[in-house]
Structure 1
């Protein structure tokens, strides 16, 4: 896990640094000293065709200044205004990790949105930011370029509905407008027009300032699962069993939660299977996963409620699990646990089978908490 900086950053301090009226002045000296990840932006180059203003640090400051001058941003509630402000500060924080000089002389930064969301999540976790506030901010960073090209996609209406469950469409459009204004390029007007058309698409889809309203939970799960699913279709809900899928870093308290809330349920536990097979957490996990899937299928064939207990901290890993459960028509509830960093370390040390710090650090870098669209119910603890 990331070691706390000597300069301690707290969520309250982040809120205090958000500009207020009537001056709306940004304290760049204080902000740029918070994290070393920001200082690296000043030496990260950008493609001059899209960013003639220069390095990522210059672009970031231009975006933030454009945001702070926007009456739409100024009129937001305090917490929303703070959320968008810090999203703008951190929106390109992933670029230094992925920026490349291509053979044709161009500069690319493919994947920087996803990487940036991961970096921001870790920074804000250590700052003690509230989970919902933090994840809303990371959602903006992960999808901040979407309004630029939404209308060019084959089915922009469907993508608008999907996006409304990943971040606030009205907020991401406010950010995108500032992102367009905070750069020097030939096609700035075209970008702003695309953002305006994206806003109209979200409004026409019925999800401008809230997630699209599906008829029920199964309708939502099926829509994200099936490419051509009608979002307005009211799916029949009849499930043979309900499966609780645990999610959280080692030491998060999954076993404790299960003992308290699902004491009567059988548990498919990767830790338990590793113990039975003599496989450590750092060994190849193929045999462990195969044995777990065999247990899962046995419960599903018997239409038996049970708990799947594993870290499941990346969307890709959860997707493998969820696809198997969906094949049997099960109702799925994800339970995600996330203690504070110091509490996590303490709880892991106190376990009889404590996981090496290196393993936790590796998982923490890839952490993608479950989103509300992933299952019939997502319980965030």
Structure 2
């Protein structure tokens, strides 16, 4: 059976079913780029353009549902990011990035969605403007290849095309031309129908982590040691996974350090000391080239990157494991823990969750 965000596709029923759809009504847009009106009007026009597109109609049913959901959600956070500038222009900077977080919460908590379908939708929401603005990126090739690791480019191009058609503006043809250029650029960079292939995991890691590296560069693999790095919301099962699959591996855990020294998790004054203690423990293993596990929530990319950079500086191979169970199972598992996390903290962390992407470590595996 195919997953669908809703059995109903009529707008009035969507507004009744979902507050985040109803919120689109009345959210203003800049008339130069969106003379059609508010976000609700634009989103309806995008959905119409999408479903009437010949390319959309040839997709399999599940791909159609994924793309339709992404189109419905693509501007969901214009409601929170739209502002009127001093010159009277209306902007919504950051709505795509924030929209990814919102889409993930909705599809995890409110509308149970298979992990891989959910992350496809989140990636489409996050990158829906990329085909229109790829050439304005500081490094267009790297931005393109990074996105290609997590998003289906033909679907992204279809979404961008529908986004351009679902509006009234004077530069519509230019926008459509940009989508065509984007498709050709993807073909040129070997990431149109599949993600760009790299010579090795070291080559991929080097390309995305070193500013001057080229995608075809094949670095010498001189890595020593290995770090098993966990990433998951509290209560998802990180400890259980490590005990089952790496029972003999030394584990550095921020929570264990806190408990050993009887420090409370909400004691911000002690956090710096805990982190420094964990870092010193890690350096002992890293200097020896000895494998170990790094067990922490690591729910944001920024948090993960600072540790991955440290491990990589010692030439360690980083294997990143993301662990997730369905929403209700997560709540139940947390309640059954020896040290359960308060519900409000869980929801706050869920709102910050950035699922790891394949460019972050040498290998990224999803235990879902």
TM-score range, shorter chain: over 0.9
Aligned twin of 1:65? 48
Whole-Å separation in 1 of the counterparts to 2:173 and 2:229: 47
TM-score, length-scaled by structure 1: 0.92
Where in structure 1 are there 5+ consecutive unaligned residues?
1-9, 18-25
Aligned twin of 1:327? 313
Query: Is contact 2:27-2:38 (8 Å) kept?
Result: yes
State which of 72, 76, 90 in structure 1 corresponds to 2:73.
90
Whole-Å separation in 1 of the counterparts to 2:321 and 2:147: 22
Query: Aligned pair in 2 of structure 1 residues 153, 379: CA closer, same or farther (>3 Å)?
Result: closer
1:282 aligns with 2:266: yes
Aligned twin of 1:134? 118
Whole-Å separation in 2 of the counterparts to 1:48 and 1:277: 59
Aligned twin of 1:339? 325
Aligned twin of 1:6? none
Where in structure 2 are there 5+ consecutive unaligned residues?
none
Cα drift, residue 12 of structure 1: 4.1
CA deviations 1:46-78 (Å, max 9, x no partner) are: 111111111111110101100001001111122
Query: Is contact 1:242-1:306 (8 Å) kept?
Result: yes
Helix, strand or coil for the counterpart of 2:302?
Answer: helix
Aligned twin of 1:46? 29
Whole-Å separation in 1 of the counterparts to 2:41 and 2:93: 19
Cα drift, residue 262 of structure 1: 0.8
State which of 335, 348, 353 in structure 2 corresponds to 1:362.
348
State which of 230, 234, 238 in structure 1 corresponds to 2:218.
234
Whole-Å separation in 1 of the counterparts to 2:328 and 2:164: 39
State which of 211, 217, 226 in structure 1 corresponds to 2:201.
217
Whole-Å separation in 1 of the counterparts to 2:18 and 2:300: 25
Cα drift, residue 11 of structure 1: 8.1
1:114 aligns with 2:105: no
Whole-Å separation in 1 of the counterparts to 2:300 and 2:190: 30
Query: Is contact 1:157-1:202 (8 Å) kept?
Result: no
Query: Is contact 1:334-1:378 (8 Å) kept?
Result: yes
State which of 268, 292, 317 in structure 1 corresponds to 2:252.
268
Query: Aligned pair in 2 of structure 1 residues 129, 91: CA closer, same or farther (>3 Å)?
Result: same
Farther off after superposition, 234-243 or 205-214: 234-243
Count of paired positions: 364
1:172 aligns with 2:156: yes
Query: Is contact 2:77-2:95 (8 Å) kept?
Result: yes
Query: Is contact 2:4-2:65 (8 Å) kept?
Result: no
Whole-Å separation in 1 of the counterparts to 2:333 and 2:357: 25
Farther off after superposition, 207-216 or 369-378: 369-378
Whole-Å separation in 2 of the counterparts to 1:288 and 1:29: 52
Cα drift, residue 83 of structure 1: 0.8
Cα drift, residue 154 of structure 1: 5.2
Query: Is contact 1:11-1:128 (8 Å) kept?
Result: no
Cα drift, residue 34 of structure 1: 2.7
Cα drift, residue 14 of structure 1: 2.5
Whole-Å separation in 1 of the counterparts to 2:239 and 2:139: 43
Whole-Å separation in 2 of the counterparts to 1:315 and 1:279: 26
Whole-Å separation in 2 of the counterparts to 1:172 and 1:314: 24
Whole-Å separation in 1 of the counterparts to 2:74 and 2:104: 12
Farther off after superposition, 236-245 or 140-149: 236-245
State which of 76, 79, 87 in structure 2 corresponds to 1:104.
87
Whole-Å separation in 1 of the counterparts to 2:21 and 2:244: 42
Query: Is contact 2:320-2:363 (8 Å) kept?
Result: yes
Cα drift, residue 16 of structure 1: 4.2
Whole-Å separation in 1 of the counterparts to 2:319 and 2:40: 42
Query: Is contact 1:215-1:235 (8 Å) kept?
Result: no
1:348 aligns with 2:334: yes
CA deviations 1:87-121 (Å, max 9, x no partner) are: 00000001111111211111111110011111111
Query: Is contact 1:156-1:201 (8 Å) kept?
Result: no
